[in-house]
Amino acid sequence: MTEAKDLIGKLAPDFCLESDTEGTTCLKDFKGKWVVLYFYPKDNTKGCTTEAVDFTTHLEEFTKLDATIIGISPDSVNSHKRFREKHGLKILLLSDPEHHVLKKYGAWGLKKMYGREYYGVIRSTFIIDPEGKIVEVYPKVRVKGHVEEVLKKLKELQNPS
């Protein structure tokens, strides 16, 4: 099974998935741009809503850094559409119901809650540079302050001192 942190420095695995607004979206469509790719468990849950709203709130700052935000979950395109409308989201949401992309990025795995083990989405974020390489990975993300942390890191990567 792929571990998210093992992908640093490697070309990001390509994919094409359905979007709630764009039809099919492929990672290769963003060659030459920075991409913040994040995986989240479920539309309209507390942490996932906070994360999506935070990315939307900071979208202008990411856009100024020539970065696209892409969120992926196993939820359906229709679920994403309702999620977008309910919370005024402006980021790209893609559907991976078969977990193919989640697995390629190490964002699908065994989880434990209340002593029970099950497979699910491991909340993770990847920064992909304009050449398509993964330059930063945030495995097992805690939502509070995460978007600001990603934005800060993106600025550092673009302007190393």
Give the residue numbers annotated as catalytic, written as ranges: 48
Q: How many residues does the chain have?
A: 161
At 25 the three-state DSSP class reads strand
Nearest to 44 by CA among 82, 90, 72: 82
Nearest to 36 by CA among 79, 92, 84, 83: 92
CA distance 86 to 149: 26
The helix-helix angle for 146-158 and 46-57 (nearest 10°) equals 40
